[in-house]
């Protein structure tokens, strides 16, 4: 690779809100999306909520001349909804399905059936290795009483962990998707602190679009206006995040969003706003990382967010175990009731009544067993994430005690992200 190597990468991200039979004007919006992507000819288009494989195949056919490479990530019962279209050949792809993803009995929310995941594509661009990730985290249905907060924190941690372990051979890391996290939310801060990813909206010097970079805005006719009442400008929950390793420098030259309207036809492409980023990558000579000389206090943001995450997971583990315990009591009572009913039926005294009560008793027992099994599984998933966070927090404390020389090994991803900012 030449010392004066430079490359421009144009990226498109959109949550398409393409739920079969439920999303308004889905077919028309898919058609207009395909026309727009062909017209703009991005290097990468990363999409979420393409729930129907028929919609993916339609886009695949329409975009084939411009985007010869594509992949649809399959998981769960309904699917992950994630897909990617690329002008460049895809060298490798894989995915990770999140351990926790809501509750199966919350059928009206539906996240549990989707199999939310993170997808990874590896591209080779003029000798540069690009790891591109696309994801969609659990939705936030009630910000005041958010029963899914711990699940999103675990998903954010698994996402950060997945990026950390799969990007060691990459020159550039790109993450796009609907995180369902506000910029200052715990999960968002945890993701950024552990991976060192930079936020395109905060880094770019040329932004055009919705106020404060919001990706769900009141001007969009598909948005639930009631949900946005506490946020007059809208909310920013969709992101383009990136970083480069030592030897490369990456910056966001421009970032644009739609503003509730399709730039060409006027009607929205989705209930979310699209993100369009132009990233510039070039060679940069290795430089001394000033973050390694700041002393023990440098790790304080990571330590703080790890402590917050552990507190949240401690509470979630206790609650999951309470639910499992309650279900266990119901199972015990159900077994006792079935024993009594069997005795009454065998005695013949009130046989008809016993037979009538048999079916609901069995249903109660099976339901309680399902609730017990799920919440025990939930508790184990939370404990797994908590153990990993405790280990990282222990390493961070050791780094503070030992001094600056131990910090590069601990926060390698965090420091690599800082290099792009410092150069």
Catalytic residues: 272
Distance (Å, whole) CA 29 – CA 231: 26
Whole-number Å distance between alpha carbons of 61 and 78: 22
Per-residue tokens: 123: 């591209």
Residue 38 tokens, joined: 């062909």
Please say whether the beta carbons of 341 and 399 come within 8 A.
Answer: no
Gap between the Cα atoms of 53 and 55, Å rounded: 5
Answer for the pair 270, 350: CB distance below 8 angstroms, yes or no. Answer: no
Helix (H, G, I), strand (E, B) or coil at 237: coil
Q: Alpha helix (H) ranges present in 17-82?
A: 26-40, 53-63
Closest by CA position to 413, among listed 276, 241, 203, 285: 241
Give the Cα separation of 140 and 180 in Å (integer): 6
For residue 334 the two structure tokens come to 């159900």
* Sole residue written with tokens 């706003």: 273
CB 155 within 8 A of CB 138: yes
Closest CA to 274 of 82, 36, 58: 36
User: Which residues, in sequence order, are bridge partners of residue 208?
Assistant: 256
Neighbours of 22 (CB within 10 A): 10
Q: Which CA distances in Å does 305 have to 72, 185, 186, 412?
A: 33, 10, 7, 17
**Residue 37 and residue 116: Cα distance in Å, rounded?**
25
């Amino acid at each position: 690779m030449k010392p004066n190597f430079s490359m421009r990468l144009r990226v498109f991200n959109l949550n398409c809100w393409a739920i079969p039979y439920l999303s308004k004007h889905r077919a028309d919006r898919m058609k207009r999306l395909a026309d727009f992507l062909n017209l703009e000819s991005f290097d990468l288009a990363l999409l979420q909520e393409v729930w129907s494989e028929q919609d993916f195949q339609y886009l695949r056919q329409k975009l084939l001349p411009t985007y010869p490479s594509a992949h649809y990530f399959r998981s769960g019962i309904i699917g992950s909804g994630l897909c990617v279209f690329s002008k460049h050949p895809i060298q490798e792809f894989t995915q990770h399905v999140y351990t926790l993803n809501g509750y199966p009995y919350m059928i009206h929310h539906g996240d549990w059936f989707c199999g939310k995941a993170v997808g990874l594509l590896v591209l080779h661009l003029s000798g540069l290795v690009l790891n591109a990730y696309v994801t969609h985290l659990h939705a936030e249905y009630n910000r005041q009483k958010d029963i899914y907060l711990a699940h999103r924190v675990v998903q954010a941690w698994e996402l950060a962990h997945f990026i950390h372990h799969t990007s060691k051979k990459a020159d550039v890391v790109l993450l796009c998707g609907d995180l369902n996290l506000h910029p200052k939310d715990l999960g968002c801060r945890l993701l950024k602190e552990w991976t060192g990813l930079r936020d395109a909206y905060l880094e770019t010097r040329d932004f055009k679009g919705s106020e404060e970079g919001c990706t769900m805005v009141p001007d969009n006719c598909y948005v639930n206006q009631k949900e946005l009442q506490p946020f007059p400008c809208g909310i920013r929950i969709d992101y383009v995040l990136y970083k480069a390793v030592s030897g490369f420098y990456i910056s966001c030259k421009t970032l644009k969003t739609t503003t509730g309207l399709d730039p060409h036809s006027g009607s929205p492409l989705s209930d979310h706003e699209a993100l369009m980023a132009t990233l510039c990558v070039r060679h940069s000579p290795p430089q001394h990382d000033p973050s390694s000389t700041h002393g023990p206090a440098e790790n304080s943001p990571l330590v703080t967010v790890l402590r917050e995450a552990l507190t949240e997971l401690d509470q979630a583990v206790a609650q999951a175990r309470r639910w499992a315990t309650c279900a266990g009591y119901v199972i015990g009572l159900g077994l006792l009731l079935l024993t009594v009913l069997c005795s009454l039926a065998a005695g013949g005294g009130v046989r008809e009544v016993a037979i009538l009560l048999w079916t609901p008793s069995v249903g109660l027992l099976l339901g309680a067993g399902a609730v017990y099994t799920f919440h025990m599984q939930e508790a184990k998933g939370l404990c797994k994430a908590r153990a990993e966070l405790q280990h990282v927090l222990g390493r961070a404390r050791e780094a503070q005690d030992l001094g600056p020389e131990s910090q590069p090994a601990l926060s390698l991803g965090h420091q690599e992200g800082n290099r792009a900012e410092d150069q």
